[in-house]
Amino acid sequence: MIYLKLLISFLKIGAFSFGGGYAMIPLIRNEVVEIHGWVTTGEFIDILALVEMTPGPIAINSATFLGYKMGGILGSVIATIAVILPSIIIILIIAHFLAKFKDSKYVDWVFRGIRPVVLGLVIAAAIAIAGDAFIDIKGFIIGALWFYLISFKRLHPIPAIVLAGAIGAIIY
């Protein structure tokens, strides 16, 4: 039964989210925390930290990790395939018709309409996670400092993750 739930949940996530992994975070969170209760909000934030540090897309890494947590190796395979299957199907369909409609103003309008939605999904994910990630003022200061260093001083994400982990280990 868990395999069917994983399949349906991650098919929905893969089919109804646009804009990549960050835009998928609210959908993944809703499915695994709110609807199924497979993980707590705190565990979900920890999972995001792990999948962010590992190579590969966030959505696929999340599906693989959560699938493994819920159903072992078979669960990870099912969740991973389920989250990418809608994209593969959509890409094949688009590739078939793209040459014919690539200059269409209607296609351009659709993509212009999708862009703000993707931005909204990314912002919603940031707000949902921020509320649970900042457990005290020290965490907020670390987050704000790292946002500044990465966004404005162009600190590379890998040293940022390592330094933030070291600082967190020392402070907490």
Q: List the pLDDT tens digit at each of the 172 positions of the chain.
A: 999 999 999 999 988 876 667 778 888 999 999 999 999 998 998 898 888 888 888 889 999 999 999 999 999 999 999 999 998 998 888 888 877 777 888 888 888 888 898 888 878 878 877 777 777 888 888 888 988 999 999 989 888 888 988 988 898 8
Residues 52 and 13 occupy one common structural domain: yes
- Indicate whether 31 and 56 sit together in one domain: yes
Rounded distance, CA 118 to CA 70, Å? 29
3-state helix, strand and coil shares in percent for the chain, rounded to the nearest 5: 85, 0, 15
Both 115 and 168 in one domain: the answer is no
Q: Kindly report the backbone phi and psi dihedral angles of residue 155, in degrees, each rounded to the nearest multiple of 5, phi listed first.
A: -65, 130
Q: Domain of 14?
A: 2-133
Amino acid occupying residue 24: M
Tally of domains in the chain:
2
Residues 73 and 122 in one domain: yes
Q: Is 148 found in the same domain as 100?
A: no
* One domain for residues 64 and 50: yes
For 107, the token pair is 């296609």
